Structure 1
Amino acid sequence: MRMLVVGGSGFLGGEVCRRGVAAGWSVVGTSHRGEIAVPGVGARRLDVTDRDAVRRLVAEVGPDVVVGTAYRADDWTVTADGAAHVAYAAAEVGVRLVHLSSDALHGGRPEPYGDEEPPSPVHVYGAAKAAAETAVRAVDPSAVLVRTSLIVGEGSKQIRLCREALTGRAVLFTDELRCPIDVTDLARAVLELATSSYAGLLNVAGPDAVSRAELGLLVARRDGLDPGGMTTATGRSSGLVRPTQVRLDSSRAAGLLRTRLRGVAELLAG
């Protein structure tokens, strides 16, 4: 089996590449600079905003599965147009597509979001992820679209942010709830879905809904850091427009996958 990971230099993309190689896959990963720091992975340079370049690369690599993880929070063309180009190229040669989406396309509410909930974005990044989903579903109805949440693990930007907040160099919001998932759990789930026939939307996130501030406290406890210096605020007081309470109901994924989606309290146990 050959897998093409678009965005293989990213935190999740790199873990998917590592897990793929360990499982015996032939893996090719892409990055904007053409560098992938994962042994055994063929690295290719790719600009996902260039539709013809994406088509050429997919045809050249000849993958059985394409995993789309590339995004840039501040760039609509990478996040939305890039996803559309990857979906078009995968559909053109008839290969399986796993597209990574985000809970950031929801606006927030007290009740959990089911797998089929329509997007309700409140900021540009969420709108771009919603547009990406619309394009992927229109181009390739057989694709699986994985809606996930904050991705944690050593080296993740989420853990770095918590450590910075614990030393007063960043701020963690107390009113922004998410369902963090470990990068290894998510990568395993992606590989399972790559060889499944599941099509459509699927929530794949952890079972624990915690605020970013609560996540910071868990990191402090695990790492033996003083939580007294942690800087917190509310999204409303900051003047930023961001999703607030976004709980993903991942019960369908939990019943479908062999991979156990662990809660953040377990992941960050001292």
Structure 2
Amino acid sequence: MTLLVVGASGYLGGEVCRQAVAAGRRVVGTYHANRVELPGVEVRRLDVTDRSAVRTLVAAVRPTTMVSTPYRYDDWTVTADGAAHVAYAAAEAGARLVHLSSDAVHAGRPEPYADDEVPTPVFAYGAAKAAAETAVRAIDPGAALVRTSLIVGDERSAQIRLCLDALAGRAALFTDEVRCPVDVTDLAAAVLEVAAGDHAGLLNVAGPEGVSRAGLGLLVARRFGLDPAGLRTATSAGSGLVRPVEVRLDISRAASLLSTRLRGVTELLTR
């Protein structure tokens, strides 16, 4: 039983690898630019934009299960085309695929988004993630597609680092942009549980609690014992950027399917 984690050099990919190794799985993980050393993981270099290279690696590894996590915020070929190449190789090999998507596919609204809602992206990254979903579903109808939100944890989390930068005056956090942050350990456990099951299609896996980015910054200040008075804030509306503002994910289906408990960000950061 071999698990192939495409994007093992990322924060989530690395945690998926760690938990899978701890469970006794054979794990192969990929990186692109920056090689990583993960205990117990066979590490291979892979460029997901090279369709032939993806097929060759998957044929050599012969995984039973694949978790696809790679993305690049400003690169359509990695985020969209790369996802299609991974899905094609997984289907060709007969491997169970879990593809990681994002709440960025939604435009934003006060009401939570259900699992199966059609993407309504308003910016380039959201459009790339929506295109990736469409490709994966068309190529491999049996694949599971996990839509998640901001991934938090320790200082390796990009979201935590952004909050620390805002507390140090080097960045600003929006007061009007709401998400449902999820802990990296919870998300990785949920992904592995989905991979071991037979759920096909979309599934929201995020935290149960909506919080603004500025609110997340205040929680991070409390967690690290920093002065919240230094937090720089702004509004998405006043920034001139086109971004989804209020995006909450309804995780009731995941709660009924999975044994993994998805903890709220207040609980996570005030322990």
Contact 1:29 1:36 in 2 (8 A): no
Distance 1:164 1:246 in 2: 23
The residue number in structure 1 matching 2:185 is: 184
The residue number in structure 1 matching 2:37 is: 37
1:219 aligns with 2:220: yes
User: Counterpart of 2:59 in 1: which secondary structure?
Assistant: helix
The residue number in structure 1 matching 2:235 is: 234
Distance 1:25 1:243 in 2: 38
Q: CA deviation at 1:93?
A: 1.2
Query: Which amino acid in structure 2 is aligned with residue 8 of structure 1?
Result: A
The residue number in structure 2 matching 1:120 is: 120
Q: Unaligned 5+ residue runs, structure 2?
A: none
Distance 1:72 1:34 in 2: 14
Show CA shifts across 1:5-32 (max 9, x none).
0000000000001011001110000011
Contact 1:54 1:89 in 2 (8 A): yes
The residue number in structure 1 matching 2:52 is: 52
Q: Percent identity over the alignment?
A: 73
Name the TM-score, length of structure 2 as normaliser: 0.98
Q: CA deviation at 1:126?
A: 0.2
Name the TM-score, length of structure 1 as normaliser: 0.99
Show CA shifts across 1:43-67 (max 9, x none).
1010000001000000000001010
Q: Equivalences for 1:44-83 in 2 at 5 Å?
A: 44-83=44-83
Q: Equivalences for 1:1-270 in 2 at 5 Å?
A: 1-33=1-33, 35-154=35-154, 155-270=156-271
Distance 1:67 1:34 in 2: 19
Distance 2:60 2:105 in 1: 33
Q: CA deviation at 1:203?
A: 0.1
Return 34-43 or 220-229, whichever deviates more: 34-43
Distance 2:46 2:225 in 1: 41
Distance 1:132 1:37 in 2: 28
User: Counterpart of 2:254 in 1: which secondary structure?
Assistant: helix
Contact 1:171 1:231 in 2 (8 A): yes
Q: Unaligned 5+ residue runs, structure 1?
A: none
Q: CA deviation at 1:34?
A: 6.6
Query: Which amino acid in structure 2 is aligned with residue 43 of structure 1?
Result: V
Contact 1:173 1:211 in 2 (8 A): yes
Q: How many residues align?
A: 270
Query: Which amino acid in structure 1 is aligned with residue 19 of structure 2?
Result: R
User: Counterpart of 1:83 in 2: which secondary structure?
Assistant: helix
Query: Which amino acid in structure 1 is aligned with residue 15 of structure 2?
Result: E
User: Counterpart of 1:175 in 2: which secondary structure?
Assistant: coil
Q: CA deviation at 1:37?
A: 2.6
Distance 1:28 1:20 in 2: 10
Distance 2:63 2:142 in 1: 16
Q: CA deviation at 1:38?
A: 1.1
Query: Which amino acid in structure 1 is aligned with residue 113 of structure 2?
Result: Y
Contact 1:34 1:44 in 2 (8 A): no
Distance 2:3 2:207 in 1: 25
Q: CA deviation at 1:99?
A: 0.2
Distance 2:34 2:59 in 1: 18
Distance 2:34 2:267 in 1: 36
User: Counterpart of 1:28 in 2: which secondary structure?
Assistant: strand
User: Counterpart of 1:245 in 2: which secondary structure?
Assistant: coil
Query: Which amino acid in structure 2 is aligned with residue 62 of structure 1?
Result: R
Contact 1:34 1:43 in 2 (8 A): no
